[in-house]
Chain A
Amino acid sequence: DAKTTQPPSMDCAEGRAANLPCNHSTISGNEYVYWYRQIHSQGPQYIIHGLKNNETNEMASLIITEDRKSSTLILPHATLRDTAVYYCIVRVIPYNAGKSTFGDGTTLTVKP
């Protein structure tokens, strides 16, 4: 599985959009980009995923560059409860084959 690189920390003002980048320059054609977040020491939660098109759901938007080497998770109106560690990973599906390697993630701090 491809490795990902994320900035270790970011701050965002409450109510503003939080844009979290992820680099996955060695991504393969059959690998999807997944985003998760972890609040305190709870189990990580799924946020969104995509292959090559931009995606949006009730939690966030995912923008994937045309060459698929990087992506950005957008939380459109960040709240204090969005303070968490955000992980970007790449996985081969549909068969979920192989490793699912998480990097160190980005610690997002939303400030009042």
Chain B
Amino acid sequence: EAQVTQNPRYLITVTGKKLTVTCSQNMNHEYMSWYRQDPGLGLRQIYYSMNVEVTDKGDVPEGYKVSRKEKRNFPLILESPSPNQTSLYFCASSPATRDRRGALHFGNGTRLTVT
């Protein structure tokens, strides 16, 4: 089944303890992206990647790192999490094609709480 898989689904951690949220897609998509969603603020893009070894900042990159060493994986790294990073995170991917397949495919989300 074609899908974007995020892990974990829920995570509670403490301030300053490094964590990684994994994202993997099995559709051979070139484009991958991370979003965070907070109440009343919609979806805000953190980082995106147009292909392997190519990453760029979205609208809210501060406090986050990403890497794209393989096409299928795009982990989100919080080196020193803070309470303001408590949020619902989504990973998404899409192919570089012109048609419906160009749509973003989203994972099921990771709910992160930083205390």
- Give residues in A with beta carbon < 8 Å to B: 32, 34, 36, 41-46, 49, 87, 91, 93-105
Cβ–Cβ contact A36 & B104, under 8 A:
yes
Q: How far apart sit A44 and B42, CA to CA, in the bound complex (Å)?
A: 11
The answer to whether A94 and B102 touch (CB under 8 A), given A87-B42, A100-B45, A104-B42, is yes
Given pairs A100-B104, A102-B44, 17 additional interface contacts (CB within 8 A): A36-B104, A49-B103, A93-B97, A94-B96, A94-B98, A95-B96, A96-B50, A96-B94, A96-B96, A99-B45, A100-B33, A101-B45, A102-B42, A102-B43, A102-B45, A103-B42, A104-B40
B90 an interface residue at 8 Å Cβ cutoff?
A: yes
Please, which residues of chain A bring their CB within 8 A of the CB of B111?
A: 41
Q: How far apart sit A32 and B92, CA to CA, in the bound complex (Å)?
A: 18
17 contacts between A and B (CB under 8 A): A41-B37, A43-B92, A43-B107, A44-B43, A44-B106, A46-B100, A87-B43, A94-B102, A95-B96, A96-B31, A97-B50, A98-B48, A99-B59, A100-B92, A100-B104, A102-B43, A102-B44
Report which of A43, A95, A98 forms a contact with B106, defined as CB distance below 8 A.
A43
Please, which residues of chain B bring their CB within 8 A of the CB of A91?
A: 102
- Give residues in B with beta carbon < 8 Å to A: 4, 30-31, 33, 35, 37, 40-45, 48, 50, 56, 58-59, 88, 90, 92, 94-98, 100, 102-109, 111
Cβ–Cβ contact B103 & A43, under 8 A:
no
The answer to whether A42 and B108 touch (CB under 8 A), given A49-B103, A93-B97, A102-B43, is yes
Cβ–Cβ contact A41 & B109, under 8 A:
yes
Cβ–Cβ contact B30 & A45, under 8 A:
no
Report which of B33, B92, B97 forms a contact with A94, defined as CB distance below 8 A.
B97
Cβ–Cβ contact A104 & B41, under 8 A:
yes
Please, which residues of chain B bring their CB within 8 A of the CB of A104?
A: 40-42
Q: How far apart sit A43 and B35, CA to CA, in the bound complex (Å)?
A: 10
Cβ–Cβ contact A95 & B104, under 8 A:
no
Q: How far apart sit A99 and B50, CA to CA, in the bound complex (Å)?
A: 10
Q: How far apart sit A94 and B97, CA to CA, in the bound complex (Å)?
A: 5
